[in-house]
Amino acid sequence: MKFFIDTANLAQIREANELGVLDGVTTNPSLMARENIRGEEACRRHYVEICNIVDGDVSAEVIATDFDGMVREGEELAALHPNIVVKLPCTAEGIRAVKYFARKGIRTNCTLVFSVGQALLAAKAGATYVSPFVGRLDDICEDGVELVAHIVRMYRYYGFETQVLAASIRHTQHIVQCMDAGADVATCPLAAIKGLLKHPLTDSGLAQFLADHAKANA
């Protein structure tokens, strides 16, 4: 299972990268706005900075919602760095653009996916990644993890190569549940990744080891 960090915050990206287990980064327009990055030029510089930190796929989302605009923007984003993956919304225009980029060998992440039908269209169009939004489904009392499992089953059954990228992960338990569901990737906030490390028996066990060592070497 690959780990991506879901942020545009460079400090958090560096911290996750230093752990040595980071495979990529996802961003979206809200995450970019949260870092106060304004204007096309600044956004592009920021994507390049992220690519220079992490040796892995970096999803950069288009703002255009029409096919021609998505194609223009996506081509410009893809030209920034070989690790850029063009992120496109799961709309009719977005699916057309996924197909266009697949034909050109440009990798895509089809985002804002909330149903298995949307995931089917993304895979048929040739998306590299499909992003079901786990947390946002849970927020409206639907089962986000079950959607991930359903997409994984469907892709395996039909032999689609599109990777299931569990997105909108809110906490550590979501990561473990998506792993059990067979997700290829989970894109997570830093706190959720760090949460995987936490166990009270690790802390108390280490404290005991160090205390015993200190006693024996006093």
Contact residues for ligand E4P, defined by CB under 6 A: 6, 26, 28, 111, 131, 133, 135-136, 167-168, 187
Strands 129-132 and 108-113: parallel
Q: What is the DSSP letter of 1?
A: -
**Distance (Å, rounded) from C-alpha 216 to C-alpha 203?**
20
Backbone phi and psi for residue 148, each to the nearest 5 degrees, phi listed first: -60, -45
Least distance in angstroms from the C-beta of 31 to ligand E4P:
7
**Distance (Å, rounded) from C-alpha 216 to C-alpha 97?**
66
Strands 163-166 and 108-113: unpaired
Q: Which is nearer to ligand E4P, 61 or 100 (CB)?
A: 61
Q: Which is nearer to ligand E4P, 22 or 200 (CB)?
A: 22
Least distance in angstroms from the C-beta of 149 to ligand E4P:
18
Q: Which is nearer to ligand E4P, 124 or 170 (CB)?
A: 170
∠ CA 1-83-135, nearest 5°, is 45
Out of 2, 87, 198, 215, pick the active-site residue. Answer: 87
Annotated catalytic, 124? no
Q: Which is nearer to ligand E4P, 26 or 118 (CB)?
A: 26
Least distance in angstroms from the C-beta of 139 to ligand E4P:
8
Least distance in angstroms from the C-beta of 29 to ligand E4P:
9
**Distance (Å, rounded) from C-alpha 15 to C-alpha 168?**
20
Active-site residue set:
87
